[in-house]
Amino acid sequence: MSFLSGFDISGYGLSAQRFRINLISSNIANANTTRTDEGGPYRRREVIFKAQDFSDLLAQQMQSNNGFIKNENPIEDPTSAKFPKPPLMSVSVDKVIRDDSPFKLRFDPSNPDADENGYVALPNVNPVVEMADLIEATRAYQANVAAYQSTKTMAQSSIDLLKG
């Protein structure tokens, strides 16, 4: 593995965890939102990541034709026994899903969003779960920062050895 790919892998991880932290922050900020543009209370959102290996990235580049010559020959299946398993090269946001668990109901007949029985539907956001997810995402972000720093230190040591 070259140093540049080490930086890239850490960068992809940092980007993915930053997206996750922003989504969790949005969930926490909307924990009491009872009216949204879609109608009804806010629904909790979660992110699904997708790990991409070298063969996925190569196939995407060949299909998109972004400065690359399009290969008319199909790529041989890299998962066959003939090829070793390619290393993971990237992580990306696959999709953001909506949590369709039921809303919490609170009796508050004076609220303008109350139904005919006086109950207000509150978002399905649990602050304790969100804080646990936020701690997990923050620690994953910190681990990627540490990996980036280690790669930087190794690269600097290599340059120092080459100079001296």
Contact 21, 144 (CB under 8 A): no
Contact 53, 89 (CB under 8 A): yes
Residue-level pLDDT at 9 = 85
Residue-level pLDDT at 1 = 47
Between 7 and 76, residue with greater pLDDT:
7
Between 90 and 69, residue with greater pLDDT:
90
Average pLDDT for residues 124-141, to the nearest whole number? 96
The three-state secondary structure class of 42 is coil
Q: What is the pLDDT of residues 23-43, one digit of tens each?
A: 999 999 999 999 999 889 999
Contact 21, 158 (CB under 8 A): no
Question: Over pLDDT 90: what percentage of the chain?
Answer: 59
Question: Over pLDDT 70: what percentage of the chain?
Answer: 76
The residues that bridge with 98 in the sheet, in sequence order, are 45
Between 7 and 130, residue with greater pLDDT:
130
- Say what the pTM is: 0.75
